[in-house]
Structure 1
Amino acid sequence: MDLNLRNAVITNVQGNSQQELQATIVDAIQSGEEKMLPGLGVLFEVIWQHSNDSDKQEMLTTLENALKM
């Protein structure tokens, strides 16, 4: 069986409200389970692909600042 993770994740959340999407993200983060990371990666990929350059720069700045030690 050929499993396409991207399609599975997108199909699973397609049509969800903002509240449902937030609950999915928060649950994935709070669970701390490694198996949730690919799904979060797919969601980030969707965000990235649908963001303009300004939004991408803001995300990069936030990420850079969050990773400073």
Structure 2
Amino acid sequence: MDINIRKAVKHNISDNDKDQLEGTIVDAIKDGQEKMLPGLGVLFEIIWQESDDQQKQLMVDNLAKGV
């Protein structure tokens, strides 16, 4: 079975407002289930692609602090 995770995640959140998107992220992290990681990866990819260089550097700095 060939599943396009990016397409499925984008489809599942396509009609969500900002509060729903935040809830999706918070719930996925709070739940801590491994199966949520691919979806969070897709969300991060979208965030990264929509960010400017300064925002990307801030994300990398925050990531470095967290690891």
TM-score range with shorter-chain normalisation? Answer: over 0.9
Partner Cα separation in structure 1 for residue 28 and residue 49 of structure 2: 21
Q: What RMSD, in angstroms, separates the aligned Cα atoms of the two structures?
A: 0.9
Q: Are 1:57 and 2:57 an aligned pair? A: yes
State the 1:3 CA deviation. 1.5
**TM-score when normalising by structure 2:** 0.94
SS at match of 1:51: coil
Partner Cα separation in structure 2 for residue 59 and residue 36 of structure 1: 20
Q: Deviation per CA, 1:21-66, whole angstroms, max 9, x where unpaired? A: 0111111111110000000000000000111101000000011111
Show the counterpart of 2:37: 37
Q: Which consecutive unaligned segments of at least 5 residues does structure 1 have?
A: none
Among the aligned pairs, what percent are the same residue?
55
Aligned length: 67
Q: Which consecutive unaligned segments of at least 5 residues does structure 2 have?
A: none
Partner Cα separation in structure 2 for residue 54 and residue 15 of structure 1: 28
**TM-score when normalising by structure 1:** 0.91
Runs of 4+ with >3 A deviation = none
Partner Cα separation in structure 2 for residue 37 and residue 65 of structure 1: 20
